[in-house]
């Protein structure tokens, strides 16, 4: 997987916005096989080439899915 273009960066940002900063989602970290539950209420996005999204994930340990 290469660096994201602007369209991909916008899709990533839209996904983060949809979660509202408090809804947990599952994500697999590089080098791991099992998804873990995260929230993300802070990120930055640059529209340069290549575009860049830098999120701050916090692992969520709440019960339920």
pLDDT digits (tens, 9 = 90+) for 25-51: 999 999 999 999 999 999 999 888 788
- Residue 23 domain-assigned (yes or no): yes
Q: Is the pTM of this model over 0.85?
A: no
The pLDDT tens digits for 8-29 are: 989 999 999 999 999 999 999 9
Q: Which domain holds residue 28?
A: 6-59
- Residue 54 domain-assigned (yes or no): yes
Q: What angle do CA 51, 43, 24 make, to 5 degrees?
A: 120
Confidence class for position 5, pLDDT limits 50, 70, 90: confident
Whether the pLDDT of residue 3 is over 70: the answer is: no
d(CA 8, CA 54): 13
- In the chain, how many domains are there? 1
- Residue 14 domain-assigned (yes or no): yes
């Amino acid at each position: 997987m290469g660096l994201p273009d602007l369209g991909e960066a916008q899709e990533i940002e839209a996904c983060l916005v949809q979660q509202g900063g408090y809804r947990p989602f599952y994500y697999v970290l590089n080098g791991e096989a099992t998804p873990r539950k995260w929230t993300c209420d802070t990120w930055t996005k640059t529209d340069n080439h290549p575009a860049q999204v830098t999120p701050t994930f916090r692992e969520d340990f709440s019960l339920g899915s």
